[in-house]
Amino acid sequence: MCIFCQIVKGEIPSNKVLEDDDFLCFHDINPAAPVHLLVIPKEHIEKFQDVSGEMMAKMTPFIQKVAQLMELDENGYRLITNNGRDGGQEVGHLHFHILGGTRLAWHRFDDAHPKESL
Ligand code: 5GP
Ligand code: ZN
């Protein structure tokens, strides 16, 4: 079973922020910002490319509720999902990073060599 499925089952502890029947939000173990949360579906879905529109439609208000709860809604936050190998996804269970609590920098990616056609 994947590490996030184990968190859903309570087999691995996590610092939970919000939970409902379908989703769980908890603090990232290795924060990259003052506030760094992960939102996951309880169902094992590997990555964004595999998720249904229906699931995403339900996840949207959940994420918005988390942002309100953590008082990120007014000043803003960044929402990221790393999808698959080239996206840098390390845990193979769909998750959205919510990053906030400071004015985040926006880096160019070192390996960004735009294709000629773009
Ligand atoms: P990815 O690189 O797949 O987009 O992000 C995986 C994230 O999961 C990383 O930010 C990493 O710190 C976090 N993470 C990995 N294992 C655990 C864990 O056991 N508990 C928590 N809370 N976060 C984890
Ligand atoms: Zn899983």
| pLDDT, position 107 | 83
Buried b (16+ CB within 10 A) or exposed e, 89-101: beeebbbbbbbbe
Coil, helix or strand at residue 98: strand
What is the fold, at CATH topology level, of the domain defined by 3-117? HIT family, subunit A (3.30.428)
Phi-psi region of 108 (alpha: psi -120 to 50; beta: other; left: phi over 0): beta
Q: For residue 95, which of 108, 106, 84 has the smallest C-alpha distance?
A: 84
- Other CB atoms within a 10 A radius of the CB of residue 43 amount to 13
Coil, helix or strand at residue 49: helix
| pLDDT, position 116 | 66
| pLDDT, position 118 | 59
**Three-point CA angle 109, 112, 118, nearest 5°:** 135
pTM: 0.95
Atom of ligand 1 nearest to the CA of 32: 10
Residue 88: CB within 6 Å of ligand 1? yes
Confidence class of residue 113 from pLDDT cuts 50, 70 and 90? confident
92-108 residue pLDDT tens: 999 999 999 999 999 87
Write down the domain spans for the chain: 3-117
| pLDDT, position 103 | 97
Coil, helix or strand at residue 110: coil
Stretch 22-43: mean pLDDT: 98
1-28 residue pLDDT tens: 999 999 999 999 999 999 999 999 999 9
| Best mutation site among 8, 9, 14, 28 for ligand 1 pocket (most ligand atoms within 8 Å of CB) | 28
